[in-house]
Homo-oligomer: A and B are copies of this chain.
């Protein structure tokens, strides 16, 4: 029942966003029954290709809670997350995703993310983006510097 309330809020954010010229996507993040963040797609409004509803909601939730770790939070998104948002959800340690529409529904109205899933699964030379290794023997020095620290936490 409460799940429906949060999902309806995410859907409402998506519909309201369309009215102001944004993409039809909304997301809500909830922790212990409290809404921590709400966001709609802001790619065009903010000139930010990473401002998908889920990424923006994660950033807002982290700001609100003062942490980069959203363990124990649940995300309600009006549409199944794209690979970028899915990556962000994993890095944020969110462990449950409620979604409304499917990625295929988004594809039907012109928002296609399936190509990214296909691209990510391919080896570098077969991708449409060029991947070129450069100065690996110098780049490794950054990892050595980190590895030499006394106190280090990965995240």
Could you tell me which A residues sit within 8 Å of B by CB distance? 3-4, 7-8, 10-11, 14-15, 18-19, 23-26, 43-44, 46-50, 55, 58-59, 62-63, 66-70, 76, 78-80, 82-102, 105-106, 108-112, 115-117, 119-121, 128-136, 138-143, 145-147, 149, 152, 154-155
Contact = CB atoms under 8 A, between A and B. Distances in A.
Given A11-B141, A97-B129, A110 B154 contact: yes
A101 B154 contact: no
A3 B130 CA distance: 14
Contacts of A66: 47
Contacts of A48: 59, 62-63, 68
Contacts of A68: 43-44, 46-49
Residue from A48, A130, A142, A155 with most neighbouring chain B CB atoms (10 Å): A142
A50 B58 contact: yes
Contact of A88 (B50, B95, B96, B121): B50
A111 B128 CA distance: 26
Nearest to A81: B131
